[in-house]
Chains A and B, each alone.
Chain A
């Protein structure tokens, strides 16, 4: 069941060509701290693209650039042929209706139950007969395996279940792009497996493009078609998971292998150890 998106001026599907979303030469800084220094990323249509990197590389910031919640200092952020930064409010909202996002902690609305949470975008954007809403919501819940939990409150759900409900909500309007912000964080192995399976199968079954931001290398490597590894505000490496395994860069190697020390040092910068312990001169009483 698909809901026709409102036609907007420049958003014809397929307008972006091979890439449904792209960032070109993006620079962004917050309070003098440079987050991105010339970022180039392309999200291919119909693929699962993983974006990885050590903590603090601004992965969430990247997502907010794509959804238009923040604007880059320079460079382009293009989604489906439209420059996100130049869109007016109405066009931006029209574009967002074609995206779905899964937040790290689910971000379900706590004052309504699971069913209403999933139905939320439908109720806000379309005036559908109640039977149709019911059918759509239950279908989406079924896709994530939680049709039976429709009348629980978010507080009653486990972390994994909450995230799956959020996923059902993200797909209820049949988006063209699905964005996952740390979908595996804090889940037990079973839930992780469930989420992995859902990301891949939804991507293929619904014919959408998925962006997964994460640092769970093992998990995402099994489902991603292509990956980007970010470091220090730019792309360190990109390619298929297989290509990245044999990448020469030491930082990529450290990241993928999960090594404690390497280009990203174990020790936070500190003065000389001996001096701090024993006093200057080393050993003088």
Chain B
């Protein structure tokens, strides 16, 4: 009986939180037009969320690509189509692996940074001080970070996919000796521009979701050290789940 009650309470909490998130999102969207008038703040946050994530994205991209090269070659040589390595890898990375892995890495690196920055400001009364100084913290602190994340994610996704394909090429052509020309032409003949578009749309959607979750958790963190820590953890967990759920939804819509 108590399990049922707990589940019900959990469901109610989930709904309450989802509702709060939606209202937060709404407020944020209304502020966007005004926010674009302060490019300095946005540029700082694109740096914060994007440029600083480059190292991890590029490294991961390279290794993911190389692993795909190894595994893909092994798999395809069992059915005798090694030349399709480029095609298969490119499509997988472009449409699925690229956006999803980038989003997860983004949530881990940039999402936690955003959440903890804002959470810390909450805990040290900086947000309150801003309110007293008649500066809306949503406009000054939250919105630029949100936009920074939204702008950065598609770019990071593109970089990840490009580098990972290079990694595939590194293994497939340089190591396994697949013909370079064939590798690229096979890929080119099967990959449509719609696939690239799909990957970038996912990058954008995941960017909105992960950035929103990060700033929301930070803004609503309890103003204590543990509160900030919890907010950071929740950012990663919720972002990951949201990314995977949205992945299914977007894929189903676009296919």
Nearest CB in chain B: distance from A83 CB, A: 18
User: Are B140 and A99 within 8 A (Cβ)?
Assistant: no
Could you say which residues of chain B place their CB within 8 Å of the CB of A166?
129
Could you say which residues of chain B place their CB within 8 Å of the CB of A110?
120-121, 124, 126
B192 adjacent to chain A (CB < 8 Å): no
Given contact pairs A96-B133, A96-B134, A97-B134, A124 touches B125 in the complex (Cβ within 8 A): no
Could you say which residues of chain B place their CB within 8 Å of the CB of A94?
134
Closest A residue, CB atoms, query B132: A101
User: Are A105 and B125 within 8 A (Cβ)?
Assistant: yes
- CB contact list, A140-188 vs B, under 8 A: 166, 169
Closest B residue, CB atoms, query A90: B134
Could you say which residues of chain A place their CB within 8 Å of the CB of B244?
none
Could you say which residues of chain B place their CB within 8 Å of the CB of A121?
133-135
Could you say which residues of chain A place their CB within 8 Å of the CB of B133?
96-97, 120-121, 124, 169
B128 adjacent to chain A (CB < 8 Å): yes
The B contact surface, by secondary structure, is helix
- What are the interface flags for A12-33 relative to B under an 8 Å C-beta threshold, 1 for contact and 0 otherwise? 0000000000000000000000
In the assembly, what is the distance between CA of A34 and CA of B129, in Å? 26
Range for the number of chain A residues in contact with chain B: 20 to 34
Q: How many residues of B are in contact with the other chain, CB < 8 A?
A: 14
Q: What is the count of residue pairs linking A and B with beta-carbon distances less than 8 angstroms?
A: 50
B131 adjacent to chain A (CB < 8 Å): yes
Nearest CB in chain A: distance from B43 CB, A: 14
Nearest CB in chain A: distance from B76 CB, A: 50
Q: Can you name 13 A-B residue pairings with CB atoms under 8 Å?
A: A67-B131, A69-B128, A93-B136, A96-B132, A96-B133, A97-B134, A100-B132, A101-B129, A101-B132, A108-B126, A110-B120, A125-B135, A169-B133
User: Are B132 and A124 within 8 A (Cβ)?
Assistant: no
- CB contact list, A80-139 vs B, under 8 A: 93-94, 96-97, 99-101, 103-105, 107-110, 120-121, 124-125
In the assembly, what is the distance between CA of A101 and CA of B136, in Å? 16
Nearest CB in chain B: distance from A59 CB, A: 15
In the assembly, what is the distance between CA of A69 and CA of B131, in Å? 8
- What are the interface flags for B135-167 relative to A under an 8 Å C-beta threshold, 1 for contact and 0 otherwise? 110001000000000000000000000000000
In the assembly, what is the distance between CA of A107 and CA of B129, in Å? 7
User: Are B134 and A103 within 8 A (Cβ)?
Assistant: no
In the assembly, what is the distance between CA of A206 and CA of B135, in Å? 24
Could you say which residues of chain B place their CB within 8 Å of the CB of A99?
132
Nearest CB in chain B: distance from A63 CB, A: 9
Could you say which residues of chain A place their CB within 8 Å of the CB of B128?
69, 103, 107
In the assembly, what is the distance between CA of A96 and CA of B137, in Å? 14
Could you say which residues of chain A place their CB within 8 Å of the CB of B121?
109-110
User: Are B134 and A107 within 8 A (Cβ)?
Assistant: no
Nearest CB in chain B: distance from A185 CB, A: 13
Could you say which residues of chain A place their CB within 8 Å of the CB of B131?
67, 69, 96
User: Are A107 and B135 within 8 A (Cβ)?
Assistant: no
Could you say which residues of chain A place their CB within 8 Å of the CB of B126?
107-110
In the assembly, what is the distance between CA of A17 and CA of B164, in Å? 72
In the assembly, what is the distance between CA of A120 and CA of B132, in Å? 12
In the assembly, what is the distance between CA of A204 and CA of B123, in Å? 33
In the assembly, what is the distance between CA of A62 and CA of B129, in Å? 16
Closest A residue, CB atoms, query B131: A69
User: Are A103 and B135 within 8 A (Cβ)?
Assistant: no
Closest 10 CB pairs of A and B: A107-B129, A107-B125, A93-B134, A96-B134, A101-B132, A97-B134, A124-B135, A103-B125, A121-B133, A107-B126
In the assembly, what is the distance between CA of A82 and CA of B109, in Å? 47
Closest A residue, CB atoms, query B139: A124
User: Are B132 and A67 within 8 A (Cβ)?
Assistant: yes
* Contacts A67-B131, A110-B124 supplied; 4 other A-B pairs, CB < 8 Å: A97-B134, A100-B132, A104-B125, A120-B133
Could you say which residues of chain B place their CB within 8 Å of the CB of A105?
124-125
Closest B residue, CB atoms, query A124: B135
- CB contact list, A227-278 vs B, under 8 A: none
- Residue from the list A97, A103, A125 in contact with B129, Cβ < 8 A: A103
Nearest CB in chain A: distance from B15 CB, A: 21
